[in-house]
Structure 1
């Protein structure tokens, strides 16, 4: 199709949506492969979820990384050696800002600009409609490819029970920013993930009374094992290709020796084996439960008036309920069928990145990993950039790679045995996932 008067044709340029960690990696690696790039960012600065000045950021004042520095940094831009194992969110934002500065990425970013729609127009090309975040005239530009990096931790998943009749305040964790919001309150935290555990620990230090509601038991991993960050120990075992059953046994023994039997504190026993849920990395939750500052309770079944009722019949009267119920991916600018999104909102992508029926549409950063996201987003975007370049230069070779990749079993890159919740839709073990990306990159070079 040809450009019309009101559509600006950007020819072989690529559109990137979002300038968080994943979007920045995509811009950098696409440019290194010779592509012109237009990146659209709805906010006024880089950082995405890690820039807590952004409206959609889930970060609170005390947020720290739960993955250690070596497993979180970009492979071509290391963090300073004198930084702590688990940097504060402000340090990580500064790191992303320096990354953008070092590779001169801001030259390719349109700040204060949101993407309204992305529409296929034939031959793998896309019309991208944008406008200023504050409104204004819409603009349509045509691109050779689109890379989506809009994040998946900004659209809150609501409580599963109706809270309209509850007289207290209900706050989603995305709106929790400072421990002062908990001070002197009677707080119920709903959700057993890392965010819920972190908020429960902060509530134990600030609130008068704290309940922590979880639907199931979890494996609470300490941040340090044998004097090393726990994720580094786990990565070593994966790199040595220990079978899953053996790694599960080692994990179980390690947790029993360091954390102990959590049921003696009133916490429920896990209903799954290690590595079958996203790791909960928290060294303080069991401490505060053991000191009586956090009362563990089961799932919430009813909120009415001033009372919350739990699955075991117990009741509580909190004046603040913090719903750490997670987030759901949202792609408001894409028709659901473009990413094969099912009725629950879950997209079906090869390697959680490549649209199966649209070779020039990819998503970067849509992962839940046992390590930090930036290294995975880096290699994802390297693969996307090399794939798009091969498709331009040698379409026949690109088609051969696509046929070969379509036969790759999902179990080779995604965890198969995980708790069946939306929190685990995009769960991967980072070592096996990187191996799958490495195999793809070899095919792209030698096909």
Structure 2
């Protein structure tokens, strides 16, 4: 296992439950990955909170404490992950300060893993990659030169970086909108550059986290079109249309893009605390020139332009690539190999961790089934091979890099749950082998 963040932890827990001999290699000195604030592996900043609620973010088998915020802070998220690792005795199966430089497949069920500082490679029967996808910054090329400071959002950590500065945030995803709000509060002036208009979803609807409301609504026995109409009306009633605040009018339907979970940006735009500009055309000294030919002076530009999907330690050809991106069944299972998995390579429209937990349940059952239930193993092998590129992803998402990992939380969850139920007859390896020894004696 490569990585002991939220995805790696739940995979490790499930593998151990199914008697699979395994351990995780983690380059930091603690679990948590992106939520281990202040470490090189982390991209969060001091005031970061989850954009999914605690109920929709928590692992199904380990609810978050009632005392946690409805939308936990990065500190609470890290506390929770450490508690999860302690609860299921995962620390003894994690090698910390262990960075993986390279892995290569030697043969079926035989992988060579090169660890930093070790002269000889390690040999493993299989590899599970859980290195996250919010760590390798994606920065656009902008014509001209800027005399001020330009940083990626990954380098933004503290509000003090904004003080007494004229700040421009480029990018209107959830991170960009959150940082623009931070700038509205702490900077001398704040602005955001938006390539297009977006729909905004409030974090709360009548005091309830909006994703909890959405989850309940999706369970109603109503036509899909009617459910979406109800959601649109609820959001419209709670927040209103973006253009009413001075934000650009969206050029797409509300469910066509990953939702912007933020009611504060419309508030600060409406109060004149955040200026709104279109796409950036070029830099000219201390000025930024925008697509509508407006120009403005800034001291600090923050690129909230997302992240690359990176696997620097493995040849991408091993991951069945298409157009430079791994193409795996359900974003996790190689269509033709049974000894290589990627956990957490998804971008859902609600919490990710319970979905990765379901991925982990399938990974553990499939590995165990190869030794204890060949019939189930053959069934799943055929499924992932024949449906290797199959994915329960709504077709109406806009075709953009931002949505390359996008999955509909509710549909994806139900798909995984059905697979787990189909594989629930698989026995843990230790129990099956113990039963076999008793029968032979």
Cα deviation for residue 173 of structure 1 reads: 0.3
SS of 1:170 mapped into structure 2? strand
Distance 2:331 2:221 in 1: 23
Q: Is 1:137 aligned with 2:118? A: yes
Distance 1:289 1:417 in 2: 29
Distance 1:308 1:340 in 2: 41
Cα deviation for residue 124 of structure 1 reads: 3.0
Distance 1:322 1:101 in 2: 37
Distance 1:55 1:75 in 2: 29
Q: Paired residue for 1:328?
A: 308
Matches within 5 A, 1:13-412: 16-131=1-116, 136-162=117-143, 165-240=145-220, 242-343=222-323, 345-395=324-374, 397-408=376-387
Distance 2:75 2:385 in 1: 41
* 1:23–1:139 Cα change, 3 Å: farther
- Say whether the 8 Å CA contact 2:195–2:279 is kept in structure 1: yes
Runs of at least 5 residues in structure 1 that lack an aligned partner in the other structure: 1-15
**CA deviation string 1:70-99 (max 9, x = no partner):** 111111111112222111110110111111
**CA deviation string 1:252-275 (max 9, x = no partner):** 222322222221333111122122
RMSD: 1.8
**CA deviation string 1:206-260 (max 9, x = no partner):** 1111110011111111111122110001111222354443333223222322222
SS of 1:81 mapped into structure 2? coil
TM (norm. structure 2) is: 0.92
- Say whether the 8 Å CA contact 2:198–2:242 is kept in structure 1: no
SS of 2:325 mapped into structure 1? coil
* Range that drifts further, 239-248 or 25-34: 239-248
* Range that drifts further, 300-309 or 147-156: 300-309
Q: Paired residue for 2:432?
A: none
Cα deviation for residue 26 of structure 1 reads: 0.9
Distance 2:381 2:223 in 1: 30
- Say whether the 8 Å CA contact 2:4–2:33 is kept in structure 1: yes
Distance 1:426 1:247 in 2: 24
* 1:94–1:188 Cα change, 3 Å: same
SS of 1:19 mapped into structure 2? coil
**CA deviation string 1:34-63 (max 9, x = no partner):** 011121011111110000121131111100
Q: Paired residue for 1:9?
A: none
* 1:402–1:242 Cα change, 3 Å: farther
- Say whether the 8 Å CA contact 1:124–1:358 is kept in structure 2: no
**CA deviation string 1:147-194 (max 9, x = no partner):** 11000000111024246x211110100000011111110000011111
Distance 2:385 2:233 in 1: 39
SS of 1:67 mapped into structure 2? coil
* Range that drifts further, 86-95 or 239-248: 239-248
SS of 2:119 mapped into structure 1? strand
- Say whether the 8 Å CA contact 2:327–2:389 is kept in structure 1: no
Cα deviation for residue 397 of structure 1 reads: 4.0
Q: Paired residue for 1:417?
A: 396
Distance 2:329 2:154 in 1: 29
- Say whether the 8 Å CA contact 1:248–1:274 is kept in structure 2: no
Report the number of matched residues.
426
Runs of at least 5 residues in structure 2 that lack an aligned partner in the other structure: 427-441
TM (norm. structure 1) is: 0.91
- Say whether the 8 Å CA contact 1:248–1:273 is kept in structure 2: no
* 1:178–1:223 Cα change, 3 Å: same
* 1:358–1:162 Cα change, 3 Å: farther
Cα deviation for residue 405 of structure 1 reads: 4.0
Cα deviation for residue 408 of structure 1 reads: 4.7
SS of 1:113 mapped into structure 2? coil
* Range that drifts further, 203-212 or 260-269: 260-269
Distance 2:189 2:39 in 1: 31
- Say whether the 8 Å CA contact 1:412–1:432 is kept in structure 2: no
